Amino acid sequence: MKKNESYEEFIKGVWRDNPVFAQVLGMCPMLAVTNSAINAVAMGMATFFVLVGSSFLVSSFRNWIPKQVRISCFIIIIATFVTIADYTLLALVPTVHKELGAFIPLIVANCLILGRQEAFASRYPTRLAVMDAVGMAVGFLIALLSLGAVREILGDGALFGVKLFSVNFEPWVIMILPPGGFLTLGVILLFFNWFKFKKDEFLDDVAEAERRGS
Amino acid sequence: MENLLWIFISALLVNNFVLTYFLGLCPFLGVSNSLETSFRLGLATTFVMLVTAICAWILNTYVLIHAPYLRLICFIVVIASTVQFIEMLIKKLSPALFRAMGIFLPLITTNCAILGLAIFATNRGYGFWEGIIYALGAGVGFTLAMVLLAGLREESELSSIPKLIQGTAMNLIIAGILSMAFMGFAGLFSST
């Protein structure tokens, strides 16, 4: 039973309530850094670290943080983790850090992270809060990676820096420029809408058939 | 003087915060359903940006020289308290304006365009006046993008659009086309 509960929280973030595709949160880093798959993964990992770390801390301290100043407390906890992530990336992968630039400190203002602290971590026990954070972060990573991969393949003809096509491939440069981010995400969301639409239609059909049958 | 003008135009059009840097997308996509509110939100954001730019400059010059690793925490605390302070000030001085701005003021705290502005201005080593002009350009650019999208969305409500594409998907594609249009400004000047 207990295992099921954690699993439920985990899978919720990955698919059903996916932070990007279903809730449309955390759009700024989502679009800004996904011009290549490597950047997307680095951003996803940094967000993962910050989200899981701050969820753990917030839910451990949830009984000591006064209600009136909770948002400020969350922000300071998040900012501390982001600073750690910033300096770690600078030390380990300086080139990626340079590419991401100001967007690492901007993880602080990612509404996804603050939203999870407010809606989940500050109300539930630590184990569930961490599972929820892991699920959300993995969902965010998947979204980043799918967007980054599509943009890099179309805009650069490569994936993770490895060329996929012969020299005859003409890169669709606009995809790695800002407009490509908006367009790609728009089309992906369109696909998700279509998927949901079909599913609703299917469920309606099933309900209709059941009604007729009985 | 000429330098200041270029900073303004660059922040306003060429490197528009919303359409080129993807900053402040949450209000851009979330609150842009009416022309009136998006204009007001734009003005409020511009104002907070100006105050933040001044605070960031003071912090950078006098405090953070001694402890650069505290920059992020300092900035976010300053922004949050500035927004809170402005909220109280407006409530006291002009209740009508306060009512007009409503929920938007507190929401500005989590707008990444504000924090982004402070970080970019620091990274580029802008001085006092440069910082203010940069904030002004970025704020007006944000308002411009908001108003453009809100206008397009209001128009699109009158036309018949397939149910599938309505909502965020359509807004993103509109934003993509706007962003493409703004790329045309990139040729305005070449020196960065």
Which pLDDT value is given to residue A95?
Answer: 85
Which pLDDT value is given to residue A50?
Answer: 92
Distance CA A93, CA B145 (A): 35
pLDDT band at B102 (very low <50, low <70, confident <90, very high): low
SS3 state of residue B164? coil
DSSP state of A175: G
B chain contacts of residue A181, beta-carbon cutoff 8 Å: 22, 176
**The two three-digit tokens of residue A105, written as one number:** 């400190």
Distance CA A88, CA A76 (A): 18
Q: What is the pLDDT of residues A124-151, one digit of tens each?
A: 888 888 888 888 888 888 888 888 888 8
**The two three-digit tokens of residue B111, written as one number:** 């707008």
- Please give the residue range of the domain that contains residue A55: 2-213
pLDDT band at A3 (very low <50, low <70, confident <90, very high): low
Structural domains of chain A, count: 1
A chain contacts of residue B163, beta-carbon cutoff 8 Å: 197
Mean pLDDT (chain A) is: 82
**Min Cα–Cα distance to chain A from B182, Å:** 9
Mutation target for B interface from A20, A21, A25, A28: give the one with most B CBs within 10 A. Answer: A28
Which pLDDT value is given to residue B189?
Answer: 64
**Min Cα–Cα distance to chain A from B171, Å:** 8
**The two three-digit tokens of residue A35, written as one number:** 């011009």
Q: What is the pLDDT of residues A46-104, one digit of tens each?
A: 889 999 999 998 888 888 888 777 777 888 888 899 999 988 888 988 888 888 877 88
Q: What is the pLDDT of residues A36-46, one digit of tens each?
A: 888 888 888 88
Q: B30: buried, middle or exposed (CB in 10 Å: 19+, 13-18, 0-12)?
A: middle
Q: What is the pTM of this model?
A: 0.81
- Mean pLDDT is lowest, of A99-108, B28-37, B130-139, for B28-37
Q: Are B87 and B106 in contact (CB under 8 A)?
A: yes
Q: What is the pLDDT of residues B141-168, one digit of tens each?
A: 989 988 988 888 888 888 888 877 777 7
Q: B11: buried, middle or exposed (CB in 10 Å: 19+, 13-18, 0-12)?
A: buried
Distance CA B59, CA B1 (A): 25
DSSP state of B159: S
- Single-letter code of the amino acid located at A164: L
Give DSSP secondary structure letters for A125-192.
-HHHHHHHHHHHHHHHHHHHHHHHHHHHHHHHSEETTEE-S-TT----GGGGSHHHHHHHHHHHHHHH
Distance CA A141, CA B72 (A): 24
In DSSP terms, A78 is beta-bridged to none
Which residue does chain B place closest to A22, by CA atoms?
Answer: B168
Angle between helices A70-92 and B71-93 (to 10 degrees): 150
Residues of B with a Cβ under 8 Å from any A Cβ are 19-26, 29, 69, 71-73, 76-77, 80, 110-112, 114-116, 119-120, 123, 163-165, 167-173, 175-177, 179-180, 183
| Pick from A83, A177, A186: CB nearest B169 | A186
- Mean pLDDT is lowest, of A101-110, A156-165, B67-76, B89-98, for A156-165
**The two three-digit tokens of residue B160, written as one number:** 């018949």
| Pick from B73, B116, B179: CB nearest A179 | B179
A147 closest CA partner among A102, A115, A192, A116? A192
